[in-house]
Amino acid sequence: MLKKNKEIMDKFYEDWSFSFESREASQRDAFFERVNNWDDQLAGFTAFRFRGQFDEIKPQVKRMITEMLETNIDVSFKSSNKKDESSAKILDGLYRYSMTDNASIEAKSVAARDMLETGAGAWRLVTEYDGIEGEIENNQIIKREKIDEAFARVIWDSAAVKVDKADARHCTVITPFTHRSYIAFAKDRGYDENIPSFQEPGSSYLVFPWLFKDLVYVGEHYVLEKKKEKFHILENPDLNDRLILTEEKYKDEGALLEMSGYALREIKKIEIDECWKYYLNGQEILGKEKIPSRLIPIVPLYCSHTFYRGGELYEGMVRPAKDQQRLYNMSMSFCADAVGQSNLSKPIFFAEQIQGLEHFYQNERDLPYVLLNRVTSDGEPMEKDVQYMQHAQIPPATQFLLDAMRTSMRESLMGGMRPADMQGNISATTVDKVNAPGDTGSTLYMHNLAASLRREGEIFMSMSKIIYDVERDITILSKTNTEQAVTLNTIILDEETTY
């Protein structure tokens, strides 16, 4: 295992270095949005008594998360056997039904928030027993599991360049545990409870000590390993049907199929991928388990994703608007500070002007008027004009910053047009389309979400072919959101069902 551990850790450190800058920038974005806007040297640059946070970014992020969760992107499967679409229809229903539980909704919500704020999110597909009866009969179902802070804790294969990471051969998830939860985790799997922690994904720039938690990190390294496997090809000329079965399935079902009219036409031995997960502590492999999938069961979700000079770059909604938000906070804090330290508007008198009449000005009642002395004690006439202390005034530059930063943030986050920028004969319809809430930004986000769901469909299909390998009763969901109980045939999800 030591050789295998070194092989995995060498790949991990290469992957870690490849995406280091993007992860660091994303963690700063998350800190800025989730913890405090006054995150850097700006806090020391200003001398305000009041430092407020007037968040213009968070409402837009929340709006986009809601829009993404409410958008129905249909994932459909198809069968290469055009005469029998039953397997694809059942897979459609299984997928829809699996999306209805709270874990799936939360996984998508967490990934969407990470993606919008930092540029990258992810969730993973896992299998679990379908209740006590399922554990007895070894019947599993597919569930989704959230990955908090995937922008920092999911380390992809550095050779993978596709946005859905379909070309990745390995991926590492850094999972945090409290000491108590880790002991329970280790006992459950028979691991050593007294072990060093895997590499922490955190950043060193954070200056708030209460953010640091005493955690234990475990590396979960997913890898695709090659394996030779036999496939049996059966045909039924009467039904004009063709089936492709694995060696294991052929042993279980081959005789019955041949009795029903199918004939074995060919046996092929090809190289396939098996997915394995290794648990790591940085010094040794704690254990490993086989994942029922031929694909890495992690679904990435990116906002703006690109490469520069060979390095992977991604960003969300926060980073382009951070400078505007900082200046907006600074300007608003300046105004609040000035108002807080400003005096109330008070009249300015010579003492002789209100001598003997002070009670008018000390009284808090709403008097219709107050009196002034007409003459001094010597009989000399007094000036009637009264001057007042002025309220704090907002400098023109501060007002300009407030207006300019709010407009700039709106354009950065929503992509709208200002009336002052509209030149020429632009129709009202065009303006409405451009200025629709999130119109230009949400198009990109929805496109990337659709790409992630397509990838999830491929993973879901790969796992379904493995875990739904015996006849069993399942529940599916139709396109009209109607639940239906069906019996899954042992060969209905054959190797020709595609996505």
Question: 14-42, pLDDT tens digit by residue?
Answer: 999 888 888 999 998 998 888 888 765 56
Q: Are 380 and 28 in contact (CB under 8 A)?
A: no
> What average pLDDT does the segment 102-126 reach?
94
Render pLDDT for 348-384 as a digit per residue (tens, 0 to 9).
666 677 777 777 666 555 555 566 667 777 777 776 6
Asked if residue 186 has pLDDT above 70, the reply is: yes
Using pLDDT thresholds of 50, 70 and 90, give the confidence band for residue 83.
low
Q: Residue 42: its pLDDT value, please?
A: 62
Specify the pTM: 0.78
- Residue linked to tokens 């660091």: 24
pLDDT, greater one: 14 or 333: 14
Q: Residue 148: its pLDDT value, please?
A: 94
* Averaged pLDDT score across all residues of the chain: 80
Q: Residue 299: its pLDDT value, please?
A: 97
| Cα–Cα dist 230/57, whole Å | 55
pLDDT, greater one: 322 or 44: 322
- Bridge partners of residue 306, in order along the sequence: 313
| Cα–Cα dist 237/276, whole Å | 39
Render pLDDT for 233-261 as a digit per residue (tens, 0 to 9).
999 888 888 888 888 888 888 888 888 88
- Cα 66 versus chain centre, distance: 12
DSSP-derived letter for residue 272 is E
Closest CA to 370 of 379, 381, 359, 380: 359
Render pLDDT for 133-175 as a digit per residue (tens, 0 to 9).
777 777 889 999 999 999 999 999 999 999 999 999 999 999 9
**CB atoms near residue 186 (< 10 Å):** 20
Using pLDDT thresholds of 50, 70 and 90, give the confidence band for residue 279.
very high
